[in-house]
Structure 1
Amino acid sequence: MALKIGDIVPNFIAKDTKGEWFESKNIVGRKPLVIYFYPKDNTPGCTTEACSFRDAYEDFKDLGAEVIGISSDSVKSHQKFAKKHQLPFILLSDEDKKLRKLFGVYNRLLGLIPGRVTYVADKNGVIILIFDGLNAQKHIEKALDTVKELVS
């Protein structure tokens, strides 16, 4: 069942780009959070999205928010992707697709392409925005505008 606006971001663990376990409980409920699911490292749309989040990352940080990108790519793939594009935020590997299932992020285009969905949660971990769209650039705009509204 997909998460909805008003739900609390669930607890989860996943490997980050250092190969270490990231536990959501260490960040959820402490600061605004942007969690974005994307289809695949090093594809044109996903690279554009990641680089746009990179370019806006200081704006998110200045607002007290953290950004987390999640795809089913391996830790090794994430390491190369993050290094190549100098991504300063957290990337999590969801190789078994448990996080996609937990959040309710489903495949698109006849089930062939993993979904691109962005969640914004307030400092209490309550989801206040779910943006599901193929246009990668719109995700950053929507997320940043929502975080700005949270802290104003």
Structure 2
Amino acid sequence: MTNIPKIGDIVGDFRLPGVRLNGEAFHRGDYTLCEQRGRPMILAFYPGDDTPVCSAQLCSYSDGLEPLQSAGATVWGISPQNLDSHERFARSRKLRMPLLADPDRSVAKSFGITAPLIGLRRSVFIITAHGRLHWKHVTAVGATYPPTADPTAQLATLPA
């Protein structure tokens, strides 16, 4: 297993398929981390669609999207489920951020957050506009997540 990146490390590029709800329309496409350079990124890894804690986490981030976007950040949710599962989840919960599919957990492995039984540890990473890890929250078990206020406060500490 790969180690969890350290603050200040350059985060490796990846490309994953994803879905994004826009009103009633759904858009499917590939999401590439390096194409987001120039703006901060929040990557929210979660174990599964439509589970109680994951639903609470992703709904809170979707509801709290404006302060994150006002700070210049893009937010992506990432889990092992496929795009059809993500679409059902986003539609049922009205989630407004892209949900990316990492079915082989290759991206989760590159972040060192895979775990037996649960697949991956619930984790949130903030990556600077220059591709460096600025902040992380990685759970041991996966039942907790940082409220939107935590990444929002961290975005305020990013260098200009």
Q: TM-score, normalised by structure 1?
A: 0.90
Letter in 1 for 2:137: F
C-alpha displacement of 1:121: 1.2
RMSD: 1.6
- More strand per residue: 1 or 2? 2
CA distance in 2, matches of 1:125, 1:13: 15
| Of 3, 6, 14, the match for 1:4 | 6
Aligned to 1:41: 49
| Of 136, 143, 148, the match for 1:130 | 136
Contact kept, 8 Å, 2:122 with 2:145, in 1: the verdict is no
Q: TM-score, normalised by structure 2?
A: 0.85
Contact kept, 8 Å, 1:119 with 1:131, in 2: the verdict is yes
- More helix per residue: 1 or 2? 1
Alignment of 1:1-152 (within 5 A): 1-2=2-3, 3-17=5-19, 18-27=27-36, 29-107=37-115, 111-113=116-118, 114-133=120-139, 134-150=142-158
C-alpha displacement of 1:69: 0.6
How many matched pairs?
148
For residue 149 of structure 1, give the secondary structure of its aligned residue in structure 2: coil
C-alpha displacement of 1:23: 1.4
Q: Could you tell me which runs of 5 or more consecutive residues in structure 2 were left unpaired when the two chains were aligned.
A: 20-26
C-alpha displacement of 1:139: 4.8
Identity of aligned residues (%): 28
Letter in 2 for 1:9: V
For residue 50 of structure 1, give the secondary structure of its aligned residue in structure 2: helix
